[in-house]
Amino acid sequence: LSTCYPPIVPAFAFQSAAGDATVVRPVADPGDVTVPKGYSAALKSPKSSYWKEAIVNELNGLMANDTWKVVARRDVPHGANLLNCHFTFALKRAKDGSIDKFKARLVADGNTQ
């Protein structure tokens, strides 16, 4: 899958304190993309297709690295400590402020250790 993210960051122009130069800096519009707080929010997001792709990429990477082995709950030893997990989401931006990558990470809940 090849993904091209639209440049959704406007430019902002202003003069320097000396008044002799105009500097243009990309400014992230706070309303351009909202980073979801959880999995269900990512799926309901207007950019859900990008977040889904990030989730799939994360899971594929973890499986390719043999990060875990899926076992049936009945095969888990009695008293074993099972950890819950959840996704965290982030945006990686290019130097010009445009979106470079939608990122999803599967993390263990530290409070269930």
Best-predicted range by mean pLDDT (14-23, 24-33, 37-46): 37-46
Give the pLDDT score at 111: 76
Q: Is the pLDDT of residue 42 over 80?
A: yes
Tens digits of residue pLDDT in 76-109? 999 888 888 999 999 998 888 888 999 999 998 8
Residue ranges of the domains in the chain? 11-69+83-112
Q: Which residue has the higher pLDDT, 92 or 6?
A: 92
Please give the share of the chain, as a percent, with pLDDT higher than 90. Answer: 44
Q: 0.95 exceeded by the pTM?
A: no
89: Cβ contacts below 8 Å, ≥ 6 apart: 35, 36, 37, 42, 51, 54, 102, 103, 104, 105
Give the mean pLDDT of the chain: 79
